[in-house]
Structure 1
Amino acid sequence: MARNQHIEAILPAQLGAARALAHAAAQLLTKAARANLAASPDDSHSNLSWDGDAQRFASQPLPGANGEVYVGLSLVPFELSLIDSATGTSVYPLVGHSLVEAVAWLDDVLESVALEPGANVSLPYNLPDDVATISRIPDALPDGLKSLAAWFDLADRAFRKLAADHAGLNPGASPVRCWPHHFDIATYVSLEAGDAETAKGIGVGMSPGDESYGQPYFYVNPWPHLDPAKLPDAPTPGHWHTQGFVGAIATGDEILSAPETKKALSGFLERAFDIGHRLLMR
């Protein structure tokens, strides 16, 4: 089955249980990084990459005894892994196990390569209730993990392409990374140097769903926020969001309403980015 078919196999609004389970498991990766890496001012030491070839999330590289080590999370099959550049990969199936058991396994393999355990790491943020209350991975996994992986893969590829297409901008695009707090995957295209609170830029990302939209959605958020009263027509197939933040949004439903998913997403991102760039830099 092609990746687009995986996306279309389950309605975007039905991915909530799969999203919460993956979001909870992703915290194990960020805890391992926080235990072993010096803190970055922007917290980027704790974020994750999406490995499209392996179809899994991976932590930042950790300094293992024999070289770089990564902690991975595959959604299908649903399993934790330690990827050691010197000795290979160790795998822990998560199905039917508690998160405490998963942390114990992870700490053992981290210590085996002279790394610090992550069990006692406190996260500097609160997780949504449906994520924070998960303590065990059920024997019967919710539908949607394969579809959720396909959404992340679609986003990662689209954002890498957009960053490459705008490689001439300076300072330019950040690496495409998944942020475990909100579980969104994004790049930030800086349009000028300076204080991040005031310097112009455009955030381009995908949330797998949150309190704003209960389904995956893509966003293009110019910074500083655009004036809601002066917005042009929204880039198709999306709409303008003006409550709490101002940005162009294309929900999963809106993307899937188009005949060609990848083409619709690419067109939406490019049109929204061009609008943001034009209005910010005029």
Structure 2
Amino acid sequence: MDTLAQVHLASQYLATAGKSFLEAKSDDSHTNVGFFSEDHTLRTWGLDESGTYLAFQYDHFSLNWVSKDKKETFTLKGKSHGEIVEWISKIAVESKLSKPYVYDLHYDLPYSNEGSFKFGDPNSEELQKLTNLRTLAQNALEFFLQKENLESDIRIWPHHFDTGAFVVLNDGSGKSIGLGLAIPDSMVNGHYFYISGYHGHDGIDTSTFKNLAQGEWKNDGFKGAILKTSGTTEKTAVNFFQEAFSLYK
């Protein structure tokens, strides 16, 4: 299993911690995670009143449990799904969380951690590349939102594993904008930035939009703009978001 797939699977333990311990939200946002560039971690929302959280640490390929009383690390290399669930369950009880930990996904992933699966020893260069991409996305989105005076959480959604922001425009147009970083899929064979506009739940048609200086418009299935991350700098990504956003406005 490649490194991206292993990291995506590892993030599901964070998603299910959110599902286990937090009040459910209709948009599923209790299961999403944040990326923190200072220590290269994905982290859950605070799981209790004191801010306890479960993290995935890219550099050491580990899960970290952080509470006011303890910080414990669980290296994933060679570990089975059952061993990981047992560790999280045990440490949640020790931390006196009010509910039990249950690993229960309500969506399908293209790979499985069941049966004889064990996490491997991921390629350190690949891990670094994935860390760099998350950092690039986080910084570009923060800069774009600040520059355009827009407000949104920047979160990673565990199903599709995209770093995303979502903004409802306050200009009376009824439009909203979703943007972020996507992992390789059937549309692009590689990581890519995306931005798309909506009227209600309907994607805005882009067929009449002028060409972009960077990236390209799509209008078949996904309606929006994409920019491949290969060779992309933070400045290029921000310019891409800004140019596409100006056409939606």
Match of 1:75 among 37, 58, 72: 58
Which of these residues, 241, 246, 249, is aligned with residue 274 of structure 1?
Answer: 246
Residue 206 of structure 1 corresponds to: 181
- Provide TM-score, normalisation by structure 2: 0.90
Task: Give the one of 192, 210, 227 matched to 2:205.
Answer: 227
Q: Which SS does the other structure have where 1:242 is aligned?
A: strand
- Unmatched segments (≥5 aa) in structure 1: 1-15, 278-282
Q: CA deviation at 1:49?
A: 0.4
Match for residue 238 of structure 1 among 195, 198, 215 = 215
The amino acid that maps onto 2:26 is P
Which of the numbers 178, 183, 189 marks the counterpart of 2:161?
183
Offset, 1:270: 1.3
Tell whether the 8 Å contact from 1:23 to 1:131 is kept in structure 2 after alignment.
Answer: no
Question: What is the letter of the counterpart of residue 210 of structure 1?
Answer: D
Deviation at 1:193, TM superposition (A): 9.1
Question: Does structure 1 retain, via aligned residues, the 8 Å contact 2:43–2:55?
Answer: yes
RMSD: 2.1
Counting matched residue pairs gives 243
Structure 1 counterpart of 2:134, from 139, 145, 152: 152
Gap change, CA 1:83 and 1:244, over 3 Å in 2: same
Structure 1 counterpart of 2:42, which letter? F
Instruction: Supply the distance in 2 between the matched residues of 1:51 and 1:229 (Cα, whole angstroms).
Output: 37
Structure-to-structure mapping, 1:44-59, within 5 angstroms: 44-59=29-44
Does the 8 Å CA contact 2:206/2:224 hold for their aligned counterparts? no
Distance 1:131 1:146, change over 3 A: farther
Residue 131 of structure 1 deviates from its aligned partner by 5.3
> Partners in 1 of 2:122 and 2:100 — Cα distance?
27
- Letter in structure 2 aligned against 1:38: E
Question: Which residue, 234, 237, 240 being the options, matches 1:265?
Answer: 237
Q: Distance in 1 between matches of 2:93 and 2:183?
A: 33
Change (3 A) 1:136 1:211: farther
Determine if contact 1:148/1:208 at 8 Å carries over to the other structure.
no
Greater RCO, 1 or 2 (C-alpha within 8 Å, sep 6+): 1
Q: Name the structure where helix makes up a greater proportion of residues.
A: 1
Which runs of 5 or more residues in structure 2 are unaligned? none
Q: Distance in 1 between matches of 2:127 and 2:82?
A: 21
Question: 2-side partners of 1:112 and 1:199: how far apart?
Answer: 48
SS in 1 for 2:48: strand
Give matches, 1:240-259, under 5 Å. Answer: 240-253=217-230, 256=231
Partner residue in 1 for 2:143: 161
Alpha-carbon distance between aligned partners in 2 of 1:226 and 1:41, rounded to the nearest angstrom = 24
* Partner Cα distance (1:163, 1:60) in 2: 21
Regions of 4+ moved over 6 Å: none
